[in-house]
A and B are shown apart, each in its own frame.
Chain A
Amino acid sequence: MKLNKDSRKLSRQLFQSSFADGKLDNTRIAAVVESILSAKPRHYLAILKDYHRLIRLEVEKRHAIIESAAALSAETSRAVENDLKSKYGGDLTTDFRVNADLIGGLRIKIGNDVWDGSVRNRLARLSEEINHV
Chain B
Amino acid sequence: MSTILQELETKIAGLKTATTKSNTGIVREVGDGVAKIEGLSDVMLNEMIEFPNGEYGLALNLEESEVGCILLGDTASVSEGDEVKTTGRLLQVPVGKALLGRVVNTLGEPIDGKGPVKNEVSYPIEKIAPGIIKRRSVSQPVQTGIMAVDAMIPIGRGQRELIIGDRATGKTTIAIDTIISQARLNKVGEESGAKDFRPLYCIYVGIGQKNSNIARSIAILEAAGAMKYTTIVSAPASDSATNQYLAPFAGAAMGEWFMDHGMDALIVYDDLSKHAVAYRQVSLVLKRPSGREAYPGDVFYLHSRLLERSARVNEQAGGGSLTALPIVETQAGDVSAYIPTNVISITDGQIYLETDLFYQGIRPAISVGLSVSRVGSAAQIKAIKQVAGKVKLDLAQFRELAAFAQFGSDLDAKTKAQLDRGGRIVELFKQPQYSPIPVEQQVAVLWAMQNGYLDEVPTDRVKEYQNKLQDYLGTRKEGVLAKIREKKQVDKEVEEELKAAVNDFKTTFR
In chain B, positions 13-62 with a C-beta closer than 8 Å to chain A are 15-25, 38-42
- What 1/0 flags go to B349-372 for Cβ under 8 Å of A? 000000000000000000000000
The answer to whether A116 and B22 touch (CB under 8 A), given A57-B38, A111-B41, is: yes
User: Are A113 and B65 in contact (CB-based, < 8 A)?
Assistant: no
User: Are B19 and A113 in contact (CB-based, < 8 A)?
Assistant: no
- Interface residue A114 (Cβ < 8 Å from any Cβ of B): yes
**B23, chain A: closest CB distance, angstroms:** 5
User: Are B16 and A125 in contact (CB-based, < 8 A)?
Assistant: yes
**A132, chain B: closest CB distance, angstroms:** 10
User: Are B42 and A112 in contact (CB-based, < 8 A)?
Assistant: yes
- Interface residue A130 (Cβ < 8 Å from any Cβ of B): yes
Which of B15, B20, B38, B85 contacts A130 (CB under 8 A)? B15
B85 contact set on A, CB distance < 8 A: 114
Which of A125, A129, A133 contacts B20 (CB under 8 A)? A125
Q: How large is the interface on B (under 10, 10 to 19, 20 to 34, 35 or more residues)?
A: 10 to 19
User: Are B24 and A115 in contact (CB-based, < 8 A)?
Assistant: no
User: Are A116 and B19 in contact (CB-based, < 8 A)?
Assistant: yes
**CA separation between A133 and B39, bound complex, in Å?**
33
A112 contact set on B, CB distance < 8 A: 23-25, 39-42
- What 1/0 flags go to A36-50 for Cβ under 8 Å of B? 000000000000000
Q: Which residue of the partner chain A has the closest CB to B86?
A: A112
User: Are B11 and A113 in contact (CB-based, < 8 A)?
Assistant: no
Q: How large is the interface on A (under 10, 10 to 19, 20 to 34, 35 or more residues)?
A: 10 to 19
Which of A53, A105, A113, A125 contacts B21 (CB under 8 A)? A113
- What 1/0 flags go to A82-109 for Cβ under 8 Å of B? 0000000000000000000000010001
The answer to whether A122 and B42 touch (CB under 8 A), given A54-B65, A113-B23, A133-B11, is: no
User: Are A126 and B15 in contact (CB-based, < 8 A)?
Assistant: yes
Total number of residue pairs linking A and B with CB closer than 8 Å? 47
Q: Which residue of the partner chain A has the closest CB to B25?
A: A112
- Interface residue A121 (Cβ < 8 Å from any Cβ of B): yes
**CA separation between A53 and B41, bound complex, in Å?**
15
**CA separation between A105 and B41, bound complex, in Å?**
25
- What 1/0 flags go to A50-66 for Cβ under 8 Å of B? 00011001000000000
**CA separation between A78 and B160, bound complex, in Å?**
66
Q: Which residue of the partner chain B has the closest CB to A111?
A: B41
Which of B11, B17, B38, B39 contacts A125 (CB under 8 A)? B17
**CA separation between A25 and B79, bound complex, in Å?**
34
A114 contact set on B, CB distance < 8 A: 21-24, 85
In chain A, positions 23-38 with a C-beta closer than 8 Å to chain B are none
User: Are B15 and A116 in contact (CB-based, < 8 A)?
Assistant: no
**CA separation between A125 and B11, bound complex, in Å?**
14
User: Are A115 and B21 in contact (CB-based, < 8 A)?
Assistant: yes
A121 contact set on B, CB distance < 8 A: 20
Interface centre among A54, A109, A122, A130 (most CB of B within 10 A): A122
B19 contact set on A, CB distance < 8 A: 105, 115-117
Q: Which residue of the partner chain B has the closest CB to A125?
A: B17
**CA separation between A115 and B24, bound complex, in Å?**
10
- What 1/0 flags go to B401-424 for Cβ under 8 Å of A? 000000000000000000000000
**CA separation between A111 and B11, bound complex, in Å?**
35
B18 contact set on A, CB distance < 8 A: 117
User: Are B25 and A129 in contact (CB-based, < 8 A)?
Assistant: no
B41 contact set on A, CB distance < 8 A: 111-112
A126 contact set on B, CB distance < 8 A: 15, 17
**A46, chain B: closest CB distance, angstroms:** 15
A113 contact set on B, CB distance < 8 A: 21-24, 42
The answer to whether A129 and B65 touch (CB under 8 A), given A112-B24, A112-B39, A114-B22, is: no
A117 contact set on B, CB distance < 8 A: 18-20
A111 contact set on B, CB distance < 8 A: 39, 41
**CA separation between A125 and B20, bound complex, in Å?**
10
**B288, chain A: closest CB distance, angstroms:** 15
A129 contact set on B, CB distance < 8 A: 15-16
User: Are A115 and B17 in contact (CB-based, < 8 A)?
Assistant: no
A116 contact set on B, CB distance < 8 A: 19-22
**CA separation between A66 and B17, bound complex, in Å?**
20
6 A-B pairs closest in CB distance: A117-B19, A122-B17, A112-B39, A112-B41, A129-B15, A114-B24
Instruction: Give me the interface of A with B, judged by CB distance under 8 Å.
Output: 53-54, 57, 105, 109, 111-117, 121-122, 125-126, 129-130, 133
A-B contact pairs, 30 of them (CB 8 A): A53-B65, A54-B65, A57-B38, A105-B19, A109-B24, A112-B23, A112-B24, A112-B25, A112-B40, A112-B42, A113-B23, A113-B24, A113-B42, A114-B21, A114-B22, A114-B23, A114-B24, A115-B19, A116-B19, A116-B20, A116-B21, A116-B22, A117-B18, A117-B19, A122-B17, A125-B20, A126-B15, A126-B17, A129-B15, A133-B11
Known pairs A105-B19, A114-B22, A114-B23 / 17 extra A-B pairs, C-beta < 8 Å: A109-B24, A112-B24, A112-B25, A112-B40, A113-B21, A113-B23, A113-B42, A114-B85, A115-B19, A115-B21, A116-B19, A116-B20, A117-B20, A121-B20, A125-B16, A129-B15, A129-B16
